[in-house]
Homo-oligomer: A and B are copies of this chain.
């Protein structure tokens, strides 16, 4: 049994129809931008009627919100899971950057919509996503602050450092394409080395 791309992207979303609409939304938004896409475009890309779309998402904004929320939940869960299974700050940052960068490379089309169409969200939905973003940044900042306290990292301002670390990962989704020679995993490893140096770690 093969898994559909939409099931791979959003394993927790049910039913498959909702996932198919999210995939059609990602593809339409990535191609023409959020504002130029109509719910009719999305329904048609998913092979459905606009009425069928409204069963799952009451509006175009609700669909963008679902895509954006799940994307942020996935990246938050990825950084939290690294912190949960690793205690050494150096290994935490290494694995965290590897996973975060690889996610933005492997899921570059989804990531672009998640990262660049954020400001199209209505205020209330934006605030929910902004909260997830602050949490992601906080986890990274805490790992850096902890490493600085024990002397394995040397950083001026952990706030700037955390932002730069995440920035490197996010920007991968802007330029990564199917033609990029590095695999997502390899790129994540290379960026991990760069980030560890940026944090003043002596590499073994």
Interface residues of A, Cβ cutoff 8 Å to B? 32-36, 115-116, 156-157, 160-161, 163-164, 167-168, 170-172, 174-175, 182, 187, 190-191, 193-195, 197-200
Contact = CB atoms under 8 A, between A and B. Distances in A.
Nearest to A194: B198
A160 to B, nearest CB: 5
Given A167-B168, A190-B160, A174 B115 contact: yes
B36 A174 contact: no
Contacts of A164: 168, 191, 194
Contact of A197 (B33, B36, B200): B200
Give the secondary structure class of A's interface: helix
22 contacts: A33-B34, A33-B35, A33-B36, A34-B36, A35-B35, A36-B36, A115-B174, A116-B116, A116-B174, A156-B193, A157-B190, A160-B182, A161-B194, A167-B168, A168-B171, A170-B174, A171-B171, A171-B174, A195-B198, A197-B197, A197-B198, A197-B200
Contacts of A193: 156
A145 to B, nearest CB: 16
A101 to B, nearest CB: 10
A147 to B, nearest CB: 14
B167 A175 contact: yes
Contact of A35 (B32, B160, B168): B32
A15 to B, nearest CB: 30
A164 B111 CA distance: 18
Nearest to A201: B197
A198 B191 CA distance: 10
A197 B193 CA distance: 11
A139 to B, nearest CB: 17
Nearest to A34: B33
A93 B199 CA distance: 18
